[in-house]
Structure 1
Amino acid sequence: MKTRSQYRTVEVIIQNKPLARDPEGETIHRNLVLKGGYDQVTGVRAGKLLRMTVQAESGQEAENIVRRLCDDLRIYNPAAHSCEVRIVEKEDRITE
């Protein structure tokens, strides 16, 4: 029997909090961007992007699963980082 399952692509963006120093971003800005002649760029903030595929009936359910995962498994440090979770696409798959 074939069943239709819904999959959601969920992105997790982890960044240093706004007032925290960002040594990686500062290094990229100073050693690559400015030395490359892009003086118009006044700052760089580095972060991490995680893209997860989640089987869920709705976008809200997929988002809740990923938020819980990030908190339970300590994917980020809430004292030092901000964490944004967003749904980017939906895909239907037919499975046996």
Structure 2
Amino acid sequence: MTNYQVHVTIENKPGISDPEGKTILNDLVMKGTHKNISQIKTAKMLKFSIDETDKETAQSKIKEICDELRIYNPMVSVVKIDVFDV
């Protein structure tokens, strides 16, 4: 078994409102700083450590956990799963 770090990034699909990102952008615009920034999108990241036989199995198990626990809404969210050797 090998220990892997698995990062799960959850963000809104294109076209889905991101109020937190808009609030951060509006704050920058109101302050008059960083006028060259036109959009900010927020995301949530979960970091798992898992012992598995290979990267593919680690990714599959974490995806299964996220689906089982309903950590994200597939109707509005995009999920990216990255696996790293420790």
Q: TM-score, normalised by structure 1?
A: 0.83
What's the offset of the Cα at 1:45? 0.4
Please tell me the residue identity of whatever aligns with 1:23: P
Partner SS state of residue 83, structure 1: strand
CA offset digits 1:38-81 (Å, max 9, x no partner): 01111000110111101111111100001111111101011111
RMSD of equivalent CA atoms:
1.1
Structure-2 residue corresponding to 1:61: 57
Pairs within 5 Å for 1:73-84:
73-84=69-80
- Give the letter for the 2:5 counterpart: T
Considering only CA atoms, is the larger Rg found in Structure 1 or Structure 2?
1
What letter corresponds to residue 18 of structure 1 in structure 2?
A: P
Number of residue pairs matched? 85
Supply the AA of the counterpart residue of 1:90.
D
Q: Which structure shows the bigger proportion of residues in strand conformation?
A: 1
Which consecutive unaligned segments of at least 5 residues does structure 2 have? none
Task: Tell me how far apart the structure 2 counterparts of residues 64 and 12 of structure 1 sit (CA, whole Å).
Answer: 12
Per-residue CA shift, 1:5-57, capped at 9, x if unaligned? 410000000001111010000001111x3225101111000110111101111
Question: Any unmatched runs of 5+ in structure 1?
Answer: 92-96
